[in-house]
Amino acid sequence: MLSSSARALSAINADLHCHSTVSDGWLAPEAVVLRALANGVELLALTDHDEVGGIDAAARVAAVHGLRFVAGVEISVSFAGETIHIVGLGIDHRDPTLVAGLEQLRAGRDARARRIGEALERVGIVDALAGAHRFARNPALVSRAHFARHLVASGVMPDVRTVFDHYLVRGKPGYVEHAWAALEDAVGWIRAAGGIAVVAHPARYRLSTADLGLLFDRFIAAGGEAVEVVSGAHTEDEMRRFASLARQRGLLASRASDFHGEKESPVDLGRCNPLPADLEPVWSRLV
């Protein structure tokens, strides 16, 4: 049972997973911070995909406005045929081990983007890579979301979710296999940088019960410490499921919108459900 002070801490409006234009968000890092402030966020982490280039700008604006800010990252991992995301919170974003690992992943992203463009060309979508680049503010990080935005802007599909369903997920013509980081490597980079590793939006992964159990076995064995119980991608039933997992596994609990932009994210910054009151919030280790 958490103490009254711990319960008060868990009630903080914390949002510990969101994105800026440094990866696949719609807002610049500074604008992400200002939107979080306007929405009443009290503790914010910027966690761009495989990239930490927005942290300094976001931290400066947060400091000016008195918003508690956490340096973060979201690392892409290959596991059991799925792409898994591991968030790092409270990192030293200049740590050489982390920086080198992320540089390697971004180089792989560039090659994947070229292959996605070629795959879409084969089904009649011309200049897809050039179109994706027009939506990527960071030319070193072109993601599937940027291709999806190009297809929406071109009138091929009505929205980003439909593009993914028809073109960019496994079995569809624009999907390409890609090897990301190993789970143990990603957790190791985060720990080397002094951070806490968190399994992001676990309900999104198409894993069997056995593979999900193995994911958490290996994650914990590698030094992972937390799970996103509350996520913009989670239903209330999924939130309850992963709250139970956090209790059973002794994991810290995180709360996050996974905000990318107003038109694409089901939950705005700071507007996701509160954590169940009996869970220890991951931010008890960050504030």
**Sequence-ordered list of residues with C-beta below 8 angstroms from that of 42, at least 6 positions apart, any chain:** 12, 13, 14, 67, 68
The predicted pLDDT at position 108 comes to 83
Residue-wise pLDDT tens digits, 42-56: 999 999 999 999 999
The predicted pLDDT at position 60 comes to 98
Beta-carbon count within 10 A of 65 CB: 11
Residue-wise pLDDT tens digits, 144-161: 999 999 999 999 999 999
Residue-wise pLDDT tens digits, 245-272: 999 999 999 999 999 999 889 999 999 9
Q: Does pLDDT of 141 surpass 70?
A: yes
The predicted pLDDT at position 6 comes to 62
Q: Does pLDDT of 1 surpass 60?
A: no
The predicted pLDDT at position 127 comes to 93
The predicted pLDDT at position 3 comes to 62
Residue-wise pLDDT tens digits, 129-138: 999 999 998 8
The predicted pLDDT at position 172 comes to 94
The predicted pLDDT at position 4 comes to 60
- Burial zone of 78 (CB within 10 Å; 0-12 exposed, 13-18 middle, 19+ buried): middle
DSSP letters along the chain, please?
---HHHHHHHTS-EE--B--TTTT-SS-HHHHHHHHHHTT-SEEEE--BT--TTHHHHHHHHHHHT-EEEEEEEEEEEETTEEEEEEEES--TT-HHHHHHHHHHHHHHHHHHHHHHHHHHHTT-TTHHHHHHHH-SSTT---HHHHHHHHHHTTSSSSHHHHIIIIISTTSTT------B-HHHHHHHHHHTT-EEEE--GGGS---HHHHHHHHHHHHHTT--EEEEEETT--HHHHHHHHHHHHHHT-EEEEE--B--TTT-SS-TT-SPPPPTTSPBGGGGT-
Q: Does pLDDT of 175 surpass 60?
A: yes
pLDDT-based confidence at residue 10 (cuts at 50, 70, 90): confident
- Mean pLDDT taken over the chain: 95
pLDDT-based confidence at residue 109 (cuts at 50, 70, 90): confident
Confirm if 37 and 270 have CB atoms less than 8 A apart.
Answer: no
Return the top range by mean pLDDT from 2-11, 137-146, 183-192: 183-192
Query: What distance in Å separates the CA atoms of residue 219 and residue 224, rounded to the nearest whole number?
Result: 5
